Structure 1
């Protein structure tokens, strides 16, 4: 059985461009009054967050389109299965007629305690253990390249004025990158007892440092999620959304 909690808020933006996919349920709300919690008695579960790109057109439509595709596709539980699914979503996007648009996507596909982590863009997947929070996805962004090249540290990246520069995603503007072989970040993982996945759009991790997220959520992220929301409400700017997932 899986436990899932999710929440989304438009922040200080005029409208909501985030969209969440929770094992068949698509959520795109301007602001939720309270986080939603459920227990899902299945062997497999797929959850994801999408963040439509605010500087482009139809970001809300783009993010919802990706969630709808995740719902409609039959995805094998494998790294290759996730890659093929995301590439299919990308190709279908180019047939929608949506122009000059794009979205991120980040999620977790679980089968019992095994999991596949994936992301395109700068929405993130973290793992929380009793000792720390670990950023286990990998941004497709200008600042991430600076980190990878050793020019700045991961800590310094939090303060960079360029951290909003996304260099890859799903959308018509990224088709040439897909054709050139740029790929989503996908990796195998697993979840042990008392460990949690935290999946979020950048409206969370651009406002709160990783250590702050950990200090607020642990040791019981489901119980402490409202404390996280309160802290985000004090500082919020962009749309923000998150999902907490564990296995019981």
Structure 2
């Protein structure tokens, strides 16, 4: 499989440090502040593309996000059950780090992304970062593990765009109900498998990105060429953003 990937991670407008980390196949970028998005072509055997957003307000958010992605980078996935075991291993690693440094107890991260293998993608999520899939239309592939998501399920919306805007503007949108946390064995994860085709795109995003964009903007931007899509997304988020900015766009060149 050959892919193109556009990716970015940075502090944003208001934060003093970047608690996000991103995994691009064989590289983890942690505590980074890119000047601009990066482009790369990769011949993929199998591997991860992921965003991890360290929990704000907790010591070691950037350590947690980097640690989890470094754990994923070295793993190979046979199926959905094996992936969930990898999440457990990554969570245990956080606990081990906290046992050595007590100040890191309670550090955590949310996580989302795709694992590409031959003609399939395994989409995974823990928390309120998101992964979208773009073929003819934009499809949100992950449900948030958050308080506001539970509230949204009780509402009636005409379409995905309306629900998206309701969630992104809700005053309690920052409360997550699942994350990988040092000292806790309890987390909820979602895993879904999808067959992929030439020109498919995946958009993997921290809440510092998808919350700053409307659903229609994301769909419109991803309809463009890869570098244009990344440029438009980054431009909007740098203007509007109040959080760290991290995203990955994966385009399938051929399977």
Q: Structure 1 length as normaliser, TM-score?
A: 0.91
Structure 1 residue corresponding to 2:180, chosen from 146, 153, 170 = 170
1:52, 1:67 → 2: CA distance?
Answer: 11
Which of 240, 243, 246 pairs up with 2:245? 240
Whole-angstrom distance in 1 between the partners of 2:167 and 2:36 = 31
Give the match for residue 188 of structure 1.
193
Q: 2 CA distance for matches of 1:43 and 1:64?
A: 23
User: Where does structure 1 lack aligned partners over 5 or more consecutive residues?
Assistant: none
Give the Cα–Cα distance (whole angstroms) in 2 for the partners of residues 45 and 88 of structure 1: 17
CA contact (8 A) 1:77 1:109 kept: no
- Count the aligned residue pairs: 240
Q: 1:160 — aligned with what?
A: 170
> Could you tell me how far apart the structure 2 residues matched to 1:184 and 1:63 are?
16
User: Equivalents in 1 of 2:94, 2:167: separation in Å?
Assistant: 31
Deviation at 1:75, TM superposition (A): 2.6
CA distance in 2, matches of 1:239, 1:59: 12
| Pairing 1:64-83 to 2, within 5 Å after superposition | 64-72=66-74, 74-83=75-84
Q: In the TM superposition, what whole-angstrom CA distance separates every residue of 1:123-153 from its partner, at most 9, and x where no partner exists?
A: 11001123x22111111100111223x2364
The runs of 4+ residues in structure 1 deviating greater than 4 Å are: none
Whether the 8 Å CA contact 1:10–1:240 is kept in 2: the answer is yes
Q: Is the 2:108–2:181 contact (alpha carbons within 8 Å) kept by the matching residues of 1? A: yes
CA distance 1:152–1:51, shift in 2 (3 Å): farther
Corresponding residue of 1:203: 208
Q: TM-score of the superposition, structure 2-length normalised?
A: 0.89
Tell whether 2:109 aligns with 1:107: no
What is the alpha-carbon root mean square deviation over aligned residues? Answer: 1.6
Which residue is 1:213 aligned to?
218
